[in-house]
Structures are given as structure tokens and as C-alpha cells.
Amino acid sequence: MNNVALAGMTLGELEQFLKGMNEQKFRAAQLFAWISRGARSFGEMRDLGLSLRKKLDESSALRSSVVAKIETDRDGAVKLGLLLGGGAAVEAVLLPANGRYTACLSTQAGCPVGCVFCKTGSLGFLRNLSAAEIVEQFLELDALCAGNVSNIVVMGMGEPLLNLEALRKALEIITSPEGRGLSKRRITISTSGIIAGIAELAEKGPDAELALSITTAREDLRGRLIKGAGPVSLRDLKNALVRWQQKHRRRITLETVLLGGINTGGEDAEALVRFARGLRTVVNIIPWNPVEGLSFEGNALVPPAQSETAFFRRQLESAGLNVTCRFRRGRGISGACGQLGALPDTGK
Ligand code: SAH
Ligand code: SF4
């Protein structure tokens, strides 16, 4: 009995797998194409031949997760809850824009980084997702929009660079020209700032867009907000970004979630401007999306006032930075940035 879901196998692995069943190589390409088109059973893979379909059915599983819930927001965002093996659960989000769709994928159940402003962080860390569990989020979201996902943002639950091996494999599968063939240029990986992971991305890829959740460039405050990461030197972090940019020659997105009264002042803006100097960046301002019960050093967190956001933005722009402000889609279903937090009992 093979316990590994076939959705998490690369074409090369499927070839090996079928070779072990004394099947010909071209069968793997057929199987890979079916899986990436979203097939849910071996029965529908008509060109595989009856005896192979039967053999596969008896020996293997196509997928490893089960859809537990699908919620649609008034603004069109769809939140998907998946139940994984071992009682873990995870959420992923589909964001429509002009007839195209972006899939926001998770890489861990919970998150060890523990940012004080993030619901996922408040759950603690359960485990890393497998490549299959990441690919399956994509396949489910792609099915919800008739195969029209054009972009991926790895901005769901968890810290992608602490599960880079599984993520790399999942993206290899999703971008494979023999399969779904999604463009590598349309993938963005967001990290809270794992320096070793950024260095590894620069060396080994995947060659995706990079977003850094800087949040604030005041090192001391940052260490208190992004608690579980331990002390991170902003100088080392910036050096890692410089090296990544030397290799990839792309703009880096600096995401900063604005927390009312905490990281929205002139000092924060100045520190961010200094951090961005020497890098090609676009700053993405994300007004904090409310999560009940979260606080920072004894005070409940609140979204920034409009005037705070406007002030912060002006400060950055007048220093010559490119700034965008993140949409808040998915809020009505707690599917916006930082609001994801499926718990093991969501499968009702
Ligand atoms: N772990 C990765 C990717 C997932 S979080 C990271 O931290 O980058 C994706 C983005 O959501 C991050 O930029 C994070 O700062 C932001 N975020 C977390 N909680 C939020 C909240 N409650 N409101 C708005 N943005 C939030
Ligand atoms: Fe983890 Fe990102 Fe949430 Fe921080 S913001 S706890 S790194 S998912």
C-alpha cells in the first residue's frame, strides 16, 4: 500500500512509481496530466486502461486531504478549509480579480513564528504540510474557478521558508509544462524574514517573486511583534535581500501590516525608508485586519485610523518609495491576511 498521495509527486517520481508497477513511462505523463487537470478518481482517467486504473485504485490515493468547508464572501473571495491527515486542518483562499484568480496557499498548520497580530501565529505550530497538501489546496481552488487560477501568493497559514523543501516541490508540480503549467513569474512567496531561507531561495530557487513582511524596520519593536523568530538582525536580513536581488533582479515587496498606534509613526516611516535604501522595492501597506482577542504588551490591537494610514503612506512616498495599499478582501469570512486559522474541529 502506498500512502503518499499521487498529487504530491513530480512527473519524474510518477515515472519511478509506475516503473515499480511494471508500467511504461508514457503512462506517467498521462497520469500527471489527469491529476493536474483536477481528476478526483482513477475511474475518470479513461486513456490509462482498465487494468492500470484498477491497480492504481487498489494501491494508491490521489489526494491526502478532504474539503471540510467552502465559504464565499460578498466581495467574491472564497475560503477553503481542508482536513489533513492526523487531525490537522488548513485554510486557503481564492481571490478573484478581473476574470482571473489568485490562489493564496498555506504551507504549515499553525505557525512557529508567532506574530502577535496574526491569528495563525496565535494557534502555535502543529506541523509542516507535505507537497501533496500544498498542491491539493491549489487543485481545489483551481476547480472552484474552472481552472482559471493565474497567480499564486504563498501568504496563507505558516512560514513558507521554514517548509521550503515541500513548497519547492509543490511549485515544481504546479508549474510543470507537462501538467498545469502555471507561470513561475506569477508566484509570490511571502516570508517573515527567515534569513537562511532567503539565502537558500537566492541559491536554489524557486525563481518566484519575493515579499518580506518587514512590519516595522525598528529592530527592537520588530522583535517584540514577531516574537517567535528570535532576535533577527535587520542588517543581516537586508544583506540577504541584497544578495537575492543580485541573483533575481526583481523588485522585492516590503509588506507592512499597520497596527493602530504601534508602528505607524514618523519614526517607523523613517526606519523603513532607510531599510529600503539600496534595494528595489515596492512597499505594500496592509491595514491590520481585526482578529478577536489579540493584544500587544497588554493592549488590545486595533486597526490604524485612516489618518494614520494616510500619514504613513505620505511619509514613504515623499521619500521616493513606491507604495501600494492592500485590498481587504475576504474580511467577511475571516479570509483576509492574518485571519486564517482553521482548527482541527472545522470539519462540521
Ligand atoms: N508567514 C508569511 C506569510 C503569511 S502571512 C509572512 O508572515 O510573511 C501574510 C501577510 O499577512 C504578512 O505580511 C503578515 O504580516 C500579514 N498579516 C498577518 N496578520 C495580519 C492581520 N491580522 N491583518 C493584516 N495583515 C496581517
Ligand atoms: Fe506566521 Fe506569517 Fe502569521 Fe507571522 S504573519 S505568525 S510568520 S503566518
Residue 190 CB less than 6 A away from ligand 1 = yes
Q: What is the mean pLDDT of residues 36-47?
A: 96
* Nearest-CA residue for atom 8 of ligand 2: 158
Count CA within 13 A, CB hemisphere, residue 67: 16
Q: What is the mean pLDDT of residues 308-336?
A: 90
Distance (Å) from CA 221 to ligand 1 centroid: 16
Give 263's DSSP letter.
S
In order of 34, 135, 221, 223, 265, the CA distances from 42 in angstroms are: 9, 18, 53, 50, 57
pLDDT band (50, 70, 90) for residue 3: low
Catalytic residues: 91, 337
Q: What is the mean pLDDT of residues 82-96?
A: 95
CATH 3.20.20.70 domain position(s) in the chain: 66-333
Reference 37, options 151, 138, 127; nearest CA is 138
What per-residue confidence (pLDDT) applies to 335?
A: 82
d(CA 13, CA 5): 12
Mean pLDDT of the chain: 94
Model confidence over 123-161: pLDDT tens digits? 999 999 999 999 999 999 999 999 999 999 999 999 999
* Nearest-CA residue for atom 19 of ligand 1: 338
Give 97's DSSP letter.
E
Task: Classify residue 183 by burial, with Cβ atoms within 10 Å: 0-12, 13-18, 19+.
Answer: exposed
Residue 192 CB less than 6 A away from ligand 1 = yes
Q: How large a percentage of the chain has pLDDT more than 90?
A: 88
Inform me whether the pLDDT recorded for 230 exceeds 90: no
Which of the ligands is closest to the CA of residue 190? 1
* Nearest-CA residue for atom 13 of ligand 1: 213
Inform me whether the pLDDT recorded for 36 exceeds 60: yes
Query: For residue 190, which atom of ligand 1 is closest to its CA?
Result: 8
Query: Which amino acid appears at position 140 of this protein?
Result: E
Residue 155 CB less than 6 A away from ligand 1 = yes
Tell whether the torsion through CA atoms of 96, 280, 212 and 200 is positive or negative: positive
Reference 207, options 165, 171, 153; nearest CA is 171
Question: Do residues 188 and 230 lie in contact, with contact meaning Cβ atoms separated by under 8 Å?
Answer: no
Topology of the domain comprising 66-333? TIM Barrel (3.20.20)
What dihedral angle (degrees, nearest 10) is formed by the CA atoms of 130, 136, 142, 143?
Answer: 180
Reference 271, options 263, 279, 261; nearest CA is 263
Nearby residues of 260 by Cβ (< 8 Å), 6 or more positions away: 288, 301, 302, 303, 304, 305, 308
Reference 158, options 200, 131, 190; nearest CA is 190
Which amino acids bring their CB within 6 angstroms of ligand 2? 111, 113-115, 118, 120-121, 157-159, 192, 213, 338
Inform me whether the pLDDT recorded for 250 exceeds 70: yes
Residues in the chain: 348
Q: Ligand 2 pocket check: which of 106, 153, 159 to mutate, most ligand atoms within 8 Å of Cβ?
A: 159
Topology of the domain comprising 6-59? DNA polymerase; domain 1 (1.10.150)
Distance (Å) from CA 322 to ligand 1 centroid: 20
pLDDT band (50, 70, 90) for residue 256: very high
What per-residue confidence (pLDDT) applies to 229?
A: 74
Helix (H) or strand (E) holding 92: strand 89-97
CATH 1.10.150.530 domain position(s) in the chain: 6-59
Distance (Å) from CA 135 to ligand 2 centroid: 20
Inform me whether the pLDDT recorded for 348 exceeds 70: no
What per-residue confidence (pLDDT) applies to 327?
A: 63
